[in-house]
Amino acid sequence: MNPADATPLIFDASWSDSQVMERVTTIADGALADAAYRIDHEGHYPLDLMGSLGEAGAFAAHLDMNGARYGLALDAMRAISRRCGSTGFLAWCHDVCGLYMEQSGNPALTGTVLRDHALGLSFGGTALSNPMKALAGIEKMLLRATKVPGGYRVSGALPWVSHIARGQYCGAIAGVMKDDGSRSHEIMFLLRFTEDVVLRPCPEFSGMEGTSTWGVRLDDYFVGEDTLIADPARPFISRIRAAFVLLQAGMAVGVTQGCIDSMREVEPLLGHVNQYLHDRPQELQAEYDELGARVSRLALTPYDGSKDYLLEVLDARTQGAELALRASQSALLHQGARGYLMHSAPQRRIREAHFIAIVTPAIKHLRWEMARLSKEEMPA
């Protein structure tokens, strides 16, 4: 091979989609697949692999500076999630954090800082579970901000935030309180996990333990201009909401694909009895293909601000979660006892699919939101 043709080691915007996917798939099918058990069972937080995936371009493709290739970002997340759902979730956290930083337009959050993030040289996630639900009217906003000279002071606690650690960061939203105690608006900022922030270990979850998930407490944490993502936050959230949700579809299709792999794996051995099961691999494959095609089309216009587009994205995300649930259940039934073994992928994927179904926006939130968006407004 001519050395000049070799792919350089670190992603840049000139890389083609296939160059990125070749590198990402190599890591996912190799080192990541090997580490999946450790990540799931020992709670290993695979920052080393996240770094390699970052260098391969897995977390950079969707950014405007790299051509807003949402289809490629989703495909990378699919390839990762196919081997390890936890790492697929980390990929999503990392992707949306990059999205916040770039779309903020804040010079302090773009440039080198964003480049390092996109290439997996630094790491950060998202703490938008509560605010997304709060803005949809499902629950109350947990972080409260008050205006002070030069910025805001933020206090409050979030129960679980993933892909964070000392020296890392995440996007967060706080409600700004007026003197009378009412909320005037919301701000969005990059929360840096300095010594000022209390990180509290979470109770043990049934899965996704390798995602470095912590309880976060802020006590008069200062938010200055250099960390503001959006003030006010609502117009910003409206702009990025569809992209935020659409990217999650990558986790759902990846886990589903892993499940179909597991069914096919035992087909030569067990096909004679598995034929009596429903949700056979070819049925799930047909739905996977159909959903995948729709997601690819939606990925072409992630900033389409229309209600119809958002509804389609929410529908695809919901369908992805439902499909992953069905596929994981069926994969275990197809594999039988071997799928029930502690080290087997099918039993792990059941918990991964459950996570996809309950992570914000959960299936129930998605349906709530679709119903809300579909309501006709009448004179009050």
Residues forming contacts to another protein in the complex (CB under 8 A) are: 264-271, 275, 278, 280-283, 286-287, 290, 308, 311-312, 314-316, 318-319, 322, 337-338, 341, 367-368, 370-371, 374, 376-380
What's the angle, vertex CA 94, arms to CA 89 and CA 98, rounded to 5? 145
Minimum CB distance to another protein smaller for 17 or for 267: 267
Minimum CB distance to another protein smaller for 5 or for 377: 377
Task: Determine if residue 212 is left, alpha or beta; phi over 0 gives left, psi from -120 to 50 gives alpha, anything else beta.
Answer: left
Smallest gap from residue 332 Cβ to another protein (A): 14
Minimum CB distance to another protein smaller for 2 or for 374: 374
Minimum CB distance to another protein smaller for 223 or for 263: 263
CA distance 380 to 374: 17
Minimum CB distance to another protein smaller for 229 or for 299: 299
CB 377 within 8 A of CB 144: no
Smallest gap from residue 291 Cβ to another protein (A): 8
What's the angle, vertex CA 316, arms to CA 324 and CA 84, rounded to 5? 35
Smallest gap from residue 5 Cβ to another protein (A): 26
Minimum CB distance to another protein smaller for 195 or for 308: 308
Smallest gap from residue 257 Cβ to another protein (A): 14
Smallest gap from residue 380 Cβ to another protein (A): 6
DSSP annotation of 66 reads G
**Could you tell me the two tokens for 286?**
């047909």
* Secondary structure element (H or E) that encloses residue 169, with its range: strand 169-177
**Could you tell me the two tokens for 338?**
């071997």
Smallest gap from residue 328 Cβ to another protein (A): 16
CA distance 238 to 317: 17
CB 281 within 8 A of CB 267: yes
